[in-house]
Amino acid sequence: MKVALIFYSFSGNTQKVFEYLKEILLSKGCSVEFLQLKPENEPKNFFKQGFSAFTKKKPKLAGEVFYDLKDFDYIILGTPLWAFTLSPALRSYLEKAKNLENKRVSFLFTYGSGAGLNKAIRELKSILEEKSAQVESFASLEGKKVKERSYLEEKLKNFCACSSSG
* Whether pTM exceeds 0.75: yes
For residue 160, the model assigns a pLDDT of 62
For residue 88, the model assigns a pLDDT of 95
For residue 161, the model assigns a pLDDT of 52
Residue type, 25: L
For residue 25, the model assigns a pLDDT of 93
Q: Residue 34: which domain range?
A: 2-164
Chain Cα centroid distance, residue 137: 12
How many domains in the chain? 1
101's CB contacts (< 8 A; 6+ apart) are 131, 132, 133
pLDDT at 153 exceeding the cut of 50: yes
Beta bridge partners of 107: 77, 138
Residue-wise pLDDT tens digits, 55-113:
888 999 999 999 999 999 999 999 999 988 999 999 999 999 999 999 999 999 999 99
Three-state secondary-structure class, residue 42 = coil
CATH code (residue 46): 3.40.50.360
Q: Are 41 and 72 in contact (CB under 8 A)?
A: no
For residue 165, the model assigns a pLDDT of 42
Q: Give the integer Cα–Cα distance in Å for 140 and 142.
A: 7
**CA within 13 Å, CB half, 87:** 29
Sheet holding 31-37, edge to edge: 31-37, 2-8, 74-80, 104-111, 134-142
Q: Are 39 and 68 in contact (CB under 8 A)?
A: no
Give the residue with greater pLDDT, 24 vs 45: 24
pLDDT at 117 exceeding the cut of 80: yes
Residue-wise pLDDT tens digits, 40-67:
988 787 778 878 888 888 999 999 999 9
